Amino acid sequence: MNITKKHIVSHFKQQEGAIHFDALLRAFGGRHVKRELKNMLNDMAEDGEVIRLKGNSYSLPGKMKTTRGRISVHRDGYGFVTPEGGGEDIFIPSKFLKGSLHGDLVEASSSPSRMGENKLDGRVLAVVERATTRIVGRYEETRRGAIVIPDDQRLNLVVSIPPKGRGTAEDGHQVVAELTSYPSGGKPAEGQIIEVLGWPDDPDVEVQSVIRRFDLPHVFAPDVLAEADGITDIVSVADLKGRIDLRSMPTVTIDGETARDFDDAVSLRREGDNFRLWVSIADVSHYVIKDSPLDQEAYLRGTSVYFPDRCIPMLPERLSNGICSLNPNLDRLTMTAEMLFDRSGTMLESSFYASVIKSAARLTYTIVKQIIVDNDMELADKFRPVSPMLLEMKELALILMAMRKKRGSIDFDLPEPEIIIGLTGLTEGIIRAERNLAHQLIEEFMLAANEAVARYITSRDIPFLYRTHENPDPAKLQTFQEFVFGFGYEFKLVEEKVKPSELQRLLAQADGRPEERMINYALLRCMKQARYAAENVGHFGLASDCYCHFTSPIRRYPDLVVHRILKAALITGSKGEPEGKRASTQLTIATERLGEVAEHTSKRERVAMEAERDVVEMKKLQYMQQHVGEEFDGYITGVTAFGFFVELEELFVEGLVHISTLSDDVYTHAEKQHSLIGRRTGTIFRIGDAARITVVSVSPGTRRIEFTLAAHTASTTATRTAAGTSVSEEYPRIPLRGKRVAALQPRGDDSGQGGGGKKGRPSKGKSVSRKRR
């Protein structure tokens, strides 16, 4: 008989569980069909129609207990499968990836790991859906033929390019290749060149490579641009209908020096002991109609993406820098949150309405700081109409900061790098990005407005798009608890949960101490990533039970959705019942598919953050290439079995001091104490220690920087173990006998995230950005 896939699937459906190949062979005719059956099963396994199990057995997907999820592959070859339905990630050793690539949807088996409680090890059984169809990388011509080496090191493959698929690519070019086949049975992946980007040392090519690699939409379609061009660039009399006129008020925008899109403006009036604050936000929803080409493109992008030398906007510049931007001395349509606060920071009342404003001044953080902090009388006189208001804003901002601190809001006051790009596009410097009271002032006012809008809509029992942040993972909390105990700190866990105020207290205790930054970073990695959701689970980091994003609709799609819901809510009845067909229709349209919108925009935010971080890291590597052989001061940020990571002061650049370069002793990794301990000398390298290093090598291709140690100063804080002893007590100095062998180990997780997981089982190496609350 001719064996078909249909016959094989039908046979599996009649059986229970997995079937050994020998049993299948007997069922389909015996030895004379062995090769045909084997080839058919191999083809079906590659297509995910059957699952190949160890022991030469097979099963249909779903007929055995497997886990479906996305696989995240580390550049060193291993991976983790994150289950679709939630639960513990499954660690996949490199030999069990079964041809799966980073981001693929896979079926995996799992079993309890020997490396720790609640840990799972497994293997990929089948690739259900490929995530990668195109790769960006370096085109190389070798003796064995042309290949493309992906920039993304998580794609552990080399793509073979046949002669007909090479196009105009030259050896060394940066290219985009489309995959025509995936690695299978020892055969490499194959592809064809579809775009030649240029030479890799061209700064523009570097950024274009990142845009292609992260699949960032960066060109507006003709119909989108046509719709944007059709929007008037002035506010008409008709536009003012139904709006509160705030043009006579002293409203100002406060942004960075290079900002061009101003989507928030503020005004304040003192009323006795109270403060009345107006936060007016660009009314983007007036111009971007739901389901229009502009709206569909904005939804697709989800957010603007910011690189050191450019921005990929969510909306065309005609809108983002034009009619939607709250430029000074021009009428602009806005949505306003008006709030009244008492001297304790309690919000006494709030109201929301469509409005029109005219910004009185385009202020910068630097100008505001010089007026409210430095008491610059010359600048205060120059901005005389608004200077008194700015001082009152300072007073309210400090009150709101104290109120948030009292309720337990967690503030990570961690420095961030600012990349200085020269006229040629190359990195000329890395400096600490300034964050002063002017930044905090605007942040407090935006937080207050976001929370007020969320509370208003929630009180009306209307479906809504929330910004949520869940309690940290219990296992990570316990690890963090052990980590800070080593520095002499403690916090309470109640039923595996912690109150934000407990963590805030911990950060306050560490303030100004050598380990302060390390504890901040360690806690940050312990946190879950904030996301958008249609269900309100609160915002842990802000200690808020109800929060949303309302204040940046020019650059964030969720804010645009929130504006539409708020507008629809404002024309409903006092009990939430729509008054009239128009109101009912608007509310229905504004709140449809909120779960889908939340999931999509959360994904787009994560992609944007990864792309932004990738470009910043690339620019750092560029800069450090100019400083090979030089010495810098830094501090230890992570310790692993293969060495420790040092972040350079003021440059925010991290590199590895490999254990093989520490030739004075043999070092043992004390994982719970985040330390390396010398067996003979008792020398201890641990997180927070000061270190002076020499830059040995910088490899942009592998995204690695190698250091050697020039000098080391141990932290003054005594390190404790869980038993209350010090590290040196737990690991006494041991005299060496016989031949000394350096403890050189293969690289595990050297992602700079504070070290790997259990020995032999690397950690996932996820990091969390604090830039987007």
What six digits make up the tokens of 399?
């009150």
Mean pLDDT, rounded, for 195-215? 93
- Evaluate if residue 212 carries a pLDDT over 70: yes
Q: Is 37 or 644 the better-scoring residue by pLDDT?
A: 644
Mean pLDDT, rounded, for 652-669? 94
Average pLDDT, the chain: 87
Residue-level pLDDT at 580: 53
- Evaluate if residue 529 carries a pLDDT over 80: yes
Give the DSSP per-residue string, 118-162: T-EEEEEEEEEE-S-SEEEEEEEEETTEEEEEES-TTS---EEE-
Q: Is 591 or 329 the better-scoring residue by pLDDT?
A: 329
- Sign of the CA dihedral running 744, 747, 749, 750: positive
Residue-level pLDDT at 626: 93
Confidence of residue 24 (pLDDT cuts 50, 70, 90): confident
pLDDT tens, 315-346?
999 999 999 999 999 999 999 999 999 999 99
- Evaluate if residue 630 carries a pLDDT over 50: yes
Mean pLDDT, rounded, for 629-646? 93
Q: Among 529, 592, 745, which residue's Cα sits nearest to residue 656?
A: 745
What six digits make up the tokens of 648?
């350079």
Mean pLDDT, rounded, for 464-487? 89
Residue-level pLDDT at 116: 61
CA 99 – CA 56 distance, rounded (Å): 18
**β pairing state of 90-92 and 120-129:** parallel
Residue-level pLDDT at 478: 86
CA 493 – CA 30 distance, rounded (Å): 63
Residue-level pLDDT at 62: 65
Q: Which of 48-62, 146-160, 385-399, 631-645 has the lowest mean pLDDT?
A: 48-62
Confidence of residue 183 (pLDDT cuts 50, 70, 90): confident
Q: Among 413, 214, 416, which residue's Cα sits nearest to residue 303?
A: 214
Q: Say how far residue 359 (Cα) sits from the centre of its chain.
A: 33
CA 625 – CA 695 distance, rounded (Å): 9
CA 56 – CA 22 distance, rounded (Å): 9
- Evaluate if residue 559 carries a pLDDT over 80: yes
CA 322 – CA 319 distance, rounded (Å): 5
Residue-level pLDDT at 745: 27
Residue-level pLDDT at 564: 97
**Cβ atoms within 10 A of the Cβ of 474, count?**
14
**β pairing state of 347-358 and 244-245:** parallel
Residue-level pLDDT at 16: 67
pLDDT tens, 90-139?
999 998 888 899 999 998 888 777 766 668 888 888 888 999 999 999 99
Q: Burial of 238 by CB count in 10 Å (0-12 exposed, 13-18 middle, 19+ buried)?
A: exposed
pLDDT tens, 255-309?
999 888 999 999 999 999 999 999 999 999 999 999 999 999 999 999 999 999 8
Question: Looking at the DSSP assignment, which residues form a beta bridge with residue 588?
Answer: none
Confidence of residue 573 (pLDDT cuts 50, 70, 90): low
- Evaluate if residue 485 carries a pLDDT over 80: yes
Contact 655, 645 (CB under 8 A): yes
pLDDT tens, 64-95?
678 899 999 998 889 999 998 878 889 999 98
- Evaluate if residue 729 carries a pLDDT over 70: no
Give the DSSP per-residue string, 436-477: -HHHHHHHHHHHHHHHHHHHHHHHTT----EEEBPPPPHHHH
Contact 630, 698 (CB under 8 A): no
Mean pLDDT, rounded, for 500-529? 87
Q: Of the spans 93-102, 179-188, 451-460, which averages the highest pLDDT?
A: 451-460
Q: Is 364 or 37 the better-scoring residue by pLDDT?
A: 364
Q: Is 475 or 370 the better-scoring residue by pLDDT?
A: 370
- Evaluate if residue 579 carries a pLDDT over 90: no
Residue-level pLDDT at 737: 25
Instruction: Tell me the C-alpha to C-alpha distance, in Å, between residue 199 and each of 152, 153, 209.
Output: 17, 19, 11
- Evaluate if residue 59 carries a pLDDT over 90: no
- Evaluate if residue 47 carries a pLDDT over 90: no
Residue-level pLDDT at 358: 98
The pLDDT > 70 percentage for the chain reads 89
- Evaluate if residue 756 carries a pLDDT over 80: no
Mean pLDDT, rounded, for 688-717? 88
The beta-carbon contacts of 519-522 under 8 Å, at least 24 apart in sequence, are 519/484, 519/487, 519/489, 520/412, 520/413, 520/414, 521/414, 521/637, 521/754, 522/480, 522/483, 522/484, 522/687, 522/754
Q: Is 763 or 752 the better-scoring residue by pLDDT?
A: 763
Burial profile 145-169: b = 16 or more Cβ within 10 angstroms, e = fewer: ebbbebbbbbbbbebbbeeebbeeb
Q: Which of 226-240, 422-436, 580-594 has the lowest mean pLDDT?
A: 580-594
- Evaluate if residue 720 carries a pLDDT over 70: no
- Evaluate if residue 752 carries a pLDDT over 60: no
